[in-house]
Amino acid sequence: MNSYPRWKIALVAVVLLIAMFLAMPNLFGEQSALQLAKDRAAVVESDRVAVEKLLQAKGVPLAGSFIEQGRLTLRFEDKADQMKARDAISAAMPNAYTIALSSASRVPNWMRNLGLTPIKLGLDLRGGVYLVYQVDVRAAVKQELDLYEQDFRASLRNAHVPYQDVRVDYPDNRVVVLFRDADSFAKGRTAIIADNRTLNFIDTNVGGAPALQLTLTPEQIKQREDYAVQQNIVILRNRLNSPELAVSEPQVARQGVDQIAIELPGLQNSAEVKKILGKTATLEFRMVDETDNPYQAATSGQVPIGAKLYYTRDKRPVLLKRDVVVTGDQLTDASFQPNTQDGPAVSVSLDSRGASKMLRNTEENIGHMMAVVFIDQSREKNAAGVEVDRKTEEVINQATIRGVFSNNFQITGINPIEGRELALLLRAGGLAAPLSEIEERAIGPSLGQDNIDKGIHAMVFGTLAAFIFMAVYYKAFGLIADAVLAANVVLLTALLSLVGAALTLPGIAAVVLTVGMAVDANILIYERIREELRMGITPRAAIAAGFDRAFSAIADSNVTALIAGLVLWLIGSGAVRGFAVVLVLGIATSMFTSLMGSRALVQVIFGGRRKLDRLPI
């Protein structure tokens, strides 16, 4: 018994003290709060001072404030003060901040500066909005076929090869290039394959004309569909994490084959978020056709060759050249500038390919006009309740090229609201495939609090029942087990706070299950000790043998449970993953407390006694 190393006892004590310190932020609770964010800029200390002075002047009491991740969080004692503060800041500082209603912990600033935070609560406990979007994966495949069509046309055009047509057969997922004769077929085939070496083409014949055909395989279709879903997840996360929306702790995950589930804990108004999520926005830069009359083209319906008819936002017709100078996929960054010499503007940065095109275009067209076309694609329900794709193309800016520029310039002529939204959508990127909302579920804070209360009651009653059973059945050793179980809960709380995992209602169930597994481990140890005592060995030897011989059974049962938990963690989503996270962490803490913590406490209580005739077990 005395052979148990003292350093292990010290290790258990140190781990428990650290766990108590890390779990301490969970004792402070939460308050109503506002989150203030700037577009493309971090909130600094001077902003915090200005806002606090404003609220003080307006008579709005402030419970506390802090700056975190470039956002200013203001805490209030109740919701009434929260709403008064929002109205006061919006009126006194219009367009200065994006304001989001939220909640924040009462953790003191010194703890927050050390990085100590309470456990994050999931949607079912905190309240908020749950959205499910379906990805139009067929549209993603169609987009890829369209890109192949454009690429094949460009290859033939660059190689100066005549051809009849390039057709896309969507139902059969193939692209067919028709040629005029065998000679053009040979040259065109060489040009296309040279630019697309990774694709598999077949030679065929359509209506007596030689043709080159590309058909997507089932594996390629599956890859494109998976890419569309995963890319949309990335884009949605970028939009939700942007300062303009100021959504705190959003959760975006794949659900099934073609669905994306979004959890927005603490969100009280989803209208603005939903407006942004499903949009696909991009820009095209085109030169203005300055020789033809746009009003005549709009009236007659006859658009000159090489031109395309557009309209401005005030419905004025504009003729633009068909050749696109730069497209939206060549943008690398976009930021909103509220105050420039020409009014609100969006600063745009281009990649090297787009910059070279813009440089060449501006060098050749100084004194001529260039226009910016804003393309907005979204999915909406029509009057019959059927979802349809809506595409809007509007000229938002026309300006004369006064000098040469390439990768950095500004778009003006837009209002502040449009500018913020445009910068966000361009910066986050375009969706890889259209989205359609198929489910929205709002969970109010009162329901979330009710879930918390019920979950805590279940956890308390279940744990209390285990405590009473152990104390009655195993006497003093049962009290030791109770202390170890309490330490297990503290360790688990500390780990959840440290790793930032969100605690959900199933997670509370996993906590209760973890306590039960820890009880089971202690029962195995104590029954082994009893068994050794019945065989007539000394109490000290019985304790050592009980812990040593129970180890294999405890390890085997926990490892199998750990494997199941890891599988749920890796392939599960939503509530299943929330349960698995707590279960996996709980298995680790219960193993530590049952084997090392319990042994250390028994050593402290009984190891120092010179004479030990019997054990209270």
Looking at residue 540, which CATH number applies to its domain? 1.20.1640.10
Mean pLDDT, residues 490-500 taken together: 88
Do residues 192 and 299 both lie within one domain?
no
In a domain, 343, yes or no: yes
Do residues 73 and 171 both lie within one domain?
no
Least-confidence region, from 198-202, 493-497, 608-612: 608-612
In a domain, 616, yes or no: no
* pLDDT > 50? residue 301: yes
Do residues 12 and 61 both lie within one domain?
no
Do residues 390 and 477 both lie within one domain?
no
Question: Which amino acid type is present at position 560?
Answer: T
In a domain, 340, yes or no: yes
Write the CA distances from 49 to 41, 78, 244, integer angstroms: 17, 22, 21
pLDDT at position 447: 60
Q: What is d(CA 75, CA 49) in angstroms, rounded to the nearest whole number?
A: 14
Q: How many domains does the chain have?
A: 4
Question: What's CA 446's distance to the chain center, in Å?
Answer: 25
What CATH number did the domain enclosing 49 receive?
A: 3.30.70.260
Q: What is d(CA 128, CA 248) in angstroms, rounded to the nearest whole number?
A: 11
* pLDDT > 80? residue 388: no
* pLDDT > 60? residue 40: no
Do residues 170 and 98 both lie within one domain?
no
136-150, 227-241, 286-300: which has the highest mean pLDDT? 286-300
For the stretch 538-585, pLDDT in tens is 888 888 888 888 888 888 888 888 888 888 887 776 677 778 888 899
- Could you tell me which residue, 28 or 346, shows the higher pLDDT? 28
CA distance between the termini of the chain? 16
Do residues 215 and 283 both lie within one domain?
no
- Could you tell me which residue, 356 or 21, shows the higher pLDDT? 21
pLDDT at position 20: 92
Do residues 97 and 165 both lie within one domain?
no
Mean pLDDT, residues 9-29 taken together: 90
* pLDDT > 80? residue 74: yes
pLDDT at position 314: 81
Mean pLDDT, residues 179-205 taken together: 87
* pLDDT > 70? residue 272: no
pLDDT at position 280: 62
Q: What is d(CA 421, CA 45) in angstroms, rounded to the nearest whole number?
A: 26
368: Cβ contacts below 8 Å, ≥ 6 apart: 287, 288, 290, 400, 401
Do residues 465 and 538 both lie within one domain?
yes
**Considering the chain, what percentage of its residues have pLDDT values greater than 70?**
87
Mean pLDDT, residues 427-445 taken together: 71
Do residues 498 and 542 both lie within one domain?
yes
Mean pLDDT, residues 46-57 taken together: 90
* pLDDT > 60? residue 244: no
Do residues 67 and 190 both lie within one domain?
no
pLDDT at position 319: 93
- Could you tell me which residue, 387 or 48, shows the higher pLDDT? 48
* pLDDT > 90? residue 18: yes
In a domain, 433, yes or no: no
Which strand (E) or helix (H) includes residue 369? strand 369-381
Per the structure, the complete domain to which residue 214 belongs is given by 137-221
In a domain, 242, yes or no: no
Rg (CA), the chain: 33
What CATH number did the domain enclosing 165 receive?
A: 3.30.1360
Final residue of a domain: which of 198, 221, 244? 221
Q: Is the dihedral of CA 390, 393, 394, 396 positive or negative?
A: positive
Do residues 328 and 449 both lie within one domain?
no
| Coil, helix or strand at residue 40 | coil
In a domain, 474, yes or no: yes
Q: What is d(CA 401, CA 326) in angstroms, rounded to the nearest whole number?
A: 15
Mean pLDDT, residues 591-613 taken together: 81
Q: Could you give the angle at which helices 505-534 and 445-499 cross, rounded to 10 degrees? A: 50
What CATH number did the domain enclosing 295 receive?
A: 3.30.1360.200
In a domain, 273, yes or no: no
pLDDT at position 573: 65
pLDDT at position 372: 83
- Could you tell me which residue, 415 or 77, shows the higher pLDDT? 77
Question: Which amino acid type is present at position 417?
Answer: I
Final residue of a domain: which of 398, 413, 428? 413
For the stretch 161-178, pLDDT in tens is 888 888 888 888 888 989
Q: What is d(CA 588, CA 546) in angstroms, rounded to the nearest whole number?
A: 21
Q: What is d(CA 94, CA 138) in angstroms, rounded to the nearest whole number?
A: 43
The 8-class DSSP code of residue 293 comes to -
**Considering the chain, what percentage of its residues have pLDDT values greater than 90?**
6
pLDDT at position 273: 72
Do residues 19 and 53 both lie within one domain?
no
* pLDDT > 50? residue 311: yes
In a domain, 306, yes or no: yes
Mean pLDDT, residues 116-137 taken together: 81
The mean predicted confidence, pLDDT, of the chain is 81
pLDDT tier, 17 (very low <50, low <70, confident <90, very high otherwise):
very high
Q: What is d(CA 261, CA 574) in angstroms, rounded to the nearest whole number?
A: 8
Final residue of a domain: which of 55, 90, 106? 106
pLDDT at position 1: 42
Question: Which amino acid type is present at position 411?
Answer: I
Q: What is d(CA 232, CA 431) in angstroms, rounded to the nearest whole number?
A: 5
